[in-house]
C-alpha cells in the first residue's frame, strides 16, 4: 500500500476534507472479483453547527474493469486506508448518511480531523493495475446543495500473483 496526501472543495458548504496538502494515492493488490473498501484520507469534517447529508458519491476517471459497488460512512477514532471485504465491520448502515458537526478528533495543533470517514467499495472485474482518480461527494446542508472532490487516486492490482512486489499508484495506466 502507498499513501501520499489530500484536500480540495469544489463548492463551499458545511463539509471540508481532512487537512492534507495535495493528492493521495492508495494501491492495493487483490483478486479479480473482489470488492475493496478504500477510506483513510477521506475524512469528512463538518465545520458548521448543523448536519450535512450525503446525497451521492461517485468516482471520477475510472478505468474500465472497475465498478463502484457502494459507499458507507464509518465513525472512527483513526482512519483506515483500505479494507477487505466491503463494507467494513462497524460501518454505518448504508441509509445512514448524516454527518454531524465535527468536534472530537483534532491534530496536535487543534485542527479538526473529522469524526466520519467515507469508505467507497470498488470491485475489480478484470486483471491489471486499474485506477480511479477523484472521489466526488454531493451533499446538502442548511445552505443548499454542494459538491466536494477528494483528489484521491485509487489503484487496484489483480491478480495478486502478478504483483509480487505489491501494488502502487505508479503501476496504473
Transcribe 138-149 into DSSP letters. Answer: EEEETTEEEEEE
pTM for the predicted model, two decimal places: 0.82
Per-residue pLDDT in tens (0 to 9) along the chain, 173 residues: 332 333 443 445 778 765 555 567 888 999 999 999 888 778 888 888 899 999 999 999 999 999 999 999 988 765 565 677 788 888 888 889 999 887 666 667 766 666 788 999 999 999 999 999 989 999 999 999 999 888 888 899 999 999 999 898 887 76
Question: Cell match 450535512: residue?
Answer: 52
Least Cα distance to 101 among 156, 46, 43 occurs for 46
CA distance 5 to 7: 8
Amino acid at each position: 500500500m502507498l499513501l501520499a496526501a489530500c484536500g480540495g472543495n469544489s463548492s463551499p458548504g458545511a463539509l471540508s476534507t481532512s487537512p492534507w496538502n495535495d493528492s493521495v494515492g492508495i494501491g492495493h493488490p487483490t483478486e479479480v472479483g473482489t470488492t475493496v473498501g478504500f477510506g483513510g484520507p477521506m475524512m469528512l469534517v463538518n465545520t458548521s453547527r448543523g448536519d450535512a447529508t450525503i446525497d451521492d458519491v461517485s468516482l471520477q476517471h475510472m478505468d474500465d474493469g472497475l465498478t463502484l459497488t457502494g459507499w458507507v460512512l464509518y465513525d472512527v477514532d483513526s482512519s483506515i486506508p483500505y479494507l477487505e471485504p466491503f463494507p467494513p465491520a462497524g460501518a454505518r448502515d448504508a441509509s445512514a448518511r448524516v454527518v454531524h458537526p465535527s468536534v472530537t478528533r483534532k491534530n496536535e495543533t487543534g485542527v479538526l480531523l473529522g469524526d466520519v470517514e467515507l469508505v467507497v467499495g470498488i470491485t475489480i472485474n478484470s486483471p491489471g493495475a486499474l485506477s480511479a482518480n477523484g472521489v466526488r461527494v454531493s451533499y446538502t446542508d442548511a445552505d443548499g446543495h454542494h459538491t466536494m472532490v477528494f483528489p484521491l487516486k485509487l489503484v487496484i492490482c489483480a491478480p495478486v500473483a502478478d504483483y509480487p512486489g505489491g501494488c502502487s499508484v505508479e503501476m496504473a495506466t
